[in-house]
Amino acid sequence: MHSVWNKFFCMTILALCVGRWLHAQTVSVQVASQEAFVDEPVRVVVNVENAIGFDGPFVAEVDGVEFRRLPGEQSFTQRQNINGRVTEKTTVGIAYEVTPRRAGSFTIPAFTINFNGKTLSTKPFRLTAVVSETGDLMTATVTCDPPTMYVGQTGTLNLELAVKRFRDEQLAITLDEGSLWSLVSRDASSWGVFGPALDKLRSENRRPRGEPRMIGDAEYIVFTIAKPFDPIAAGAPAIGDVRVRMDYPTRLTRGNDGFFENRLSLAGSRPISIVPTITAIDVQSPPEGGRPASWNGAVGRFTIDVAAKPVDVTVGDPITLTLRLTDLSGTAGLEGLQSPALFDQPSLSRSFRVPRESAAGVVEGRAKIFTQSVRALNDAVNAIPAIEFSFFDPETGSYELIQSEALPLRVTPSAVARIGPEAGVEAPVEVASTLTKIEGGLLANASIDDLIGIPANPADIVVSALIGPSCLALACGIRLWQNATSNHPLARRRRGARGACERRLATTPTPDGVSTALLGYIADRVGAPEGSLTRREAIDVLAMAGVEPEAREEVDLLLRRCERGRYAGESIDTREVTAILARLDAMDWKDRGGQ
């Protein structure tokens, strides 16, 4: 009896499963239109029914036609239950953009898939393409303000879209700027580097401002989309893929849709598209002739102000210098502006301990502020010398060198306690008039004034004299051991720099990701804080580490390409980065510890 019920149950399940796949496997194609304009994509959807796990679709190349598969798939399932028999149809839709690149009539071949060893195909179809004659209905240009600029300045790129004012003579209605902008296809258009600016306007529920302008004998509405422009190389700017599409009206109509009486709508339109032209934009590099040795890329017209705190110190005490560079031109690129290289200014480095690293800055309005800590080397120092800063003035076309005011400074000798020749004798005070340097940093001694009024206890002096040097020697030994041992975090970080860079490249191979990975590798090798290096600072760090000039130039060029790729869509081959890493890893880098 049980065997009979088991057979019945199995046959029922089998029948349901067979009914479930009752529909046959088919492939079909849906075409939005078989008439198109040159360079205007036509949407094509390939529908695959009841073929879960298929391969494809595939389509043969056609001369003059470009196929682009759109990301994602759409799928839906339809089920029916008739008299207990369940049938199911599953459809997967894959969308393509088919773009004719020249005028003519094309045969679009069948799209095919492979499923269970069979090949299923759609039917071919015809596509006719003609040139979209925009005539004088719309123009698009890219301009720059200012039109002539230098690398190191900032300006504004403007996409100006001029749409001819439309008037329906029969209804005696002229469309306003809001109505004309609503006919621009924001989603079907390609905006290139202007996309983020347009997205920001849309997020704020705004649109580009339009203003009337007479061009020839006709009135146009000119819409302007602006973005900041900070050129990193001479030549025409890269704007990416920009193509503006709109449905230009040919006739209007009034109607009543039940909610709005006399509603105005399009009775006819023609699709038009246009690629903007770039007007004469002259981006130049500052001339090489006449460059001061201290110039580090600043372009504009600047003033420099320096403040020091404190100004009454002991030999070896830290003195914080605050440098304010103010741009009077209003066009300087402050984000990339670098601090004067204090270490390379002999008037300062002769008398002060100055870090090699460039200080990070903060932009405040039209000024950038840098802070740097220096230490007097001896008590003969009586002033912070004038700090030099050079820049290229685009108005005069020449380099200028300016200096800050010297700042008075009072430096007193430091004091080191020493025991006398006999026990119980008060220890004399030896005056230290120069700064003591140790590996890994500076030893700042107490000033003589700090010791006045402290009673001399022979026992305390003996303990200080014996323990102090021991602790100092121990500290130095620990520092040297930490730098040498492979278990120290800095050593581990240096050792794993290349692996960390390659992992970053594997996860984010975009221009931004490549730049972050390479700058992170350099920071790991030299022990700099993560994410602290700019391109220019990284090249300076490589120079201080003794990396060959050819390798530094190769790194600089790659980082510049990454900067361009952020807004120009340029791709970076990660194999180039791997080759650079191998070259850098094979070099002996100078140890920057203690500087």
Give residue limits of the domains in the chain.
2-130, 138-283, 294-411, 413-484, 489-585
pLDDT at 492: 81
What counts of helices (H) and strands (E) characterise the chain? 12, 39
- Between 81 and 191, whose confidence is greater? 191
Contact by Cβ (8 Å): 248, 138:
yes
CA distance 499 to 294: 36
Q: What is the average per-residue pLDDT within 467-480?
A: 46
* Residue of 437, 436, 461, 441 whose CA lies nearest to 451: 461
pLDDT at 433: 57
Q: What is the average per-residue pLDDT within 460-481?
A: 45
Beta bridge partners of residue 193, listed in sequence order: none
CA distance 334 to 361: 9
pTM value is 0.53
- Band of pLDDT at residue 504, cut at 50, 70 and 90: confident
Q: What is the average per-residue pLDDT within 88-97?
A: 90
Span of 32-36, 85-89, 109-113, 429-433 with lowest mean pLDDT: 429-433
CA distances for 235 relative to 149, 152, 396, angstroms? 10, 13, 21
Span of 11-20, 75-84, 162-171, 532-541 with lowest mean pLDDT: 11-20
Instruction: Give per-residue pLDDT as tens, 218-241.
Output: 999 999 999 999 888 888 888 888
Tell me if 2-130 shares its fold with 294-411: yes
pLDDT at 490: 75
- Between 510 and 425, whose confidence is greater? 510
Span of 334-338, 389-393, 426-430 with lowest mean pLDDT: 426-430
- Band of pLDDT at residue 434, cut at 50, 70 and 90: low
| Other CB atoms within 10 A of residue 368 CB | 23
Provide the 8-state DSSP code for 24. P
pLDDT at 125: 94
Question: pLDDT over 70 for what percent of the chain?
Answer: 80
- Between 572 and 139, whose confidence is greater? 139
pLDDT at 18: 44
CA distance 323 to 386: 11
pLDDT exceeds 80 at position 272? yes
CA distance 546 to 525: 13
pLDDT exceeds 80 at position 469? no
Q: 151: Cβ–Cβ under 8 A, 6 or more apart, which residues?
A: 231, 232, 233, 234, 283, 284, 285, 286, 299
| Other CB atoms within 10 A of residue 229 CB | 22
Contact by Cβ (8 Å): 434, 414:
no
Q: Which CATH number fits domain 294-411: 2.60.40, 1.20.1740, 1.20.144, 1.10.3470?
A: 2.60.40
Span of 112-116, 200-204, 366-370, 494-498 with lowest mean pLDDT: 494-498
2-130 is a CATH 2.60.40 domain: yes
Phi, psi of 11 (to 5 degrees): -65, -35
- Band of pLDDT at residue 332, cut at 50, 70 and 90: very high
CA distances for 105 relative to 58, 128, 129, angstroms? 21, 4, 6
Mean model confidence pLDDT for the chain: 80
Contact by Cβ (8 Å): 77, 171:
no
pLDDT at 569: 55
